[in-house]
Amino acid sequence: MPVARNAPPPSEAPPGQRAVTMETVGRLAGVSQVTVSRALNDPKKVSPETLRKIQEAIAVTGYVPNALAGALASRRSKLVAALVPSLTNVVYSSMIKSLSDTMRDGHYQIMLSETGTDPAQEEELIATHLSRRPDAIVLTGIHHTANARRMLLGAGIPVVELWDITDSPIDLCVGFSHSETGRAAARYALDRGYDAAAAISAGDERALRRMSGFADLWTERTGQSVPSEVFAPSSTLADGRTGLARLVDTHGLRRGVIHCSSDVLAHGVLTEAAARGLRVPEDIAVIGFGDQDMAAHTYPALTTVRVDRSELGLQAAKAILARFEGKDIPPVTDLSFSIIARDSA
């Protein structure tokens, strides 16, 4: 089955060479095309003998089913669309991994795309994905354009809003309250007896809500304002370092606890603290968010807010699967979170 190297069809022509079809396989096995279809989708509906012949024909021809045709005919694509703000952020990709692993067990495949933080771009990607006729779609967050909502509803498939929570989901919602994570962090810091606070946050809407949760509760309880540094939506170690540097150099921060909207930012703060010879947590204390793998292994180990991303992905998958089976399930799942006390605060 050789293929000409470097001699593809021109763009106008279809890319694939004429592929082997069920028809061909059937002819070779001496049966009709439908029988091949049955052999593949429900082998017990076919006699052992013909099944064997068909499998042989498949092996000989190197037949690969055309899922496009299958999906068109059956109106079921076995595809689940998933949209995340960033492909390179483990916070999302670890969630998608667990979603993906669970859906794979049900023979569903994930179609993943990156939306950035702009709802308009998300809307565009929703349209593209919907055109592939997924059997379900997973979105990150609860803010979408009006038009996106219309399209989603019109698609008539399960829609999961992941990684945030609302009382009025489009369809299903699996997440937690971002502002509550911030408030919980503030309570923790207060309990620990810190008497000054600052915040470093990524610039996306949810990160800002986490920060506000922290700052609001802190201010309510202490009357103090909380100086803050805000960076781009994708937080980096470098931003964390810069954040601490600015807090110290321009806000005159000398001591206290710093709330970071992600573990990566927190890691950056730890790094800058080490570079400056500041002691953690004696001089400055640090609270992260996410409980990424590295959080337990930074020096000092990072105190952070754990959200179980695997569980989020899993619950989303379970909700979708339940829907496929026609089960009536609660539309919103609040997975909550917890504070993991380690050494940095």
Partner DNA sequence: CTGAAAGCGCTAACAC
Partner DNA sequence: GTGTTAGCGCTTTCAG
Is 116 an interacting residue with respect to DNA (CB under 7 A)?
no
Is 66 an interacting residue with respect to DNA (CB under 7 A)?
yes
Is 325 an interacting residue with respect to DNA (CB under 7 A)?
no
Is 47 an interacting residue with respect to DNA (CB under 7 A)?
yes
Closer CB to DNA, 35 or 177, in the complex: 35
Q: How does strand 303-306 pair with strand 338-340?
A: antiparallel
Is 235 an interacting residue with respect to DNA (CB under 7 A)?
no
Residue 183: burial class (beta carbons within 10 Å; 0-12, 13-18, 19+): buried
Closer CB to DNA, 38 or 178, in the complex: 38
Is 128 an interacting residue with respect to DNA (CB under 7 A)?
no
| Site size for DNA (CB under 7 A) | 32
Is 44 an interacting residue with respect to DNA (CB under 7 A)?
yes
Given candidates 74, 128, 224, 225, which one binds DNA under the rule CB under 7 A?
Answer: 74
**In angstroms, how far apart are the furthest CA atoms of the chain?**
84
What would the DSSP string read from start to end of 15-63?
SS-----HHHHHHHHTS-HHHHHHHHH-GGGS-HHHHHHHHHHHHHHT-
Q: Which does 41 bind (CB under 5 to 8 A by kind): DNA, its own copies, none?
A: DNA
- Residue 284's φ and ψ, nearest 5 degrees, are -130, 140
Which residues make beta-bridge pairs with 322? none
Closer CB to its own copies, 31 or 172, in the complex: 172
Within 13 Å of residue 162, how many CA atoms lie on the same side as its CB?
35
Given candidates 8, 56, 60, 72, which one binds DNA under the rule CB under 7 A?
Answer: 72
Closer CB to DNA, 137 or 172, in the complex: 137
Tokens found for residue 325: 């089976």
Query: Rg for the chain (alpha carbons), in Å?
Result: 26
H-run or E-run covering 159: strand 159-162
Is 75 an interacting residue with respect to DNA (CB under 7 A)?
yes
Is 45 an interacting residue with respect to DNA (CB under 7 A)?
yes
Closer CB to DNA, 41 or 338, in the complex: 41
What residue has token string 């002691």?
279
Query: What is the total residue count of the chain?
Result: 345
* Footprint on this chain of DNA (rule: CB under 7 A): 18-19, 21-23, 26, 31-35, 37-38, 40-41, 44-47, 49-51, 63, 65-66, 69-70, 72-76
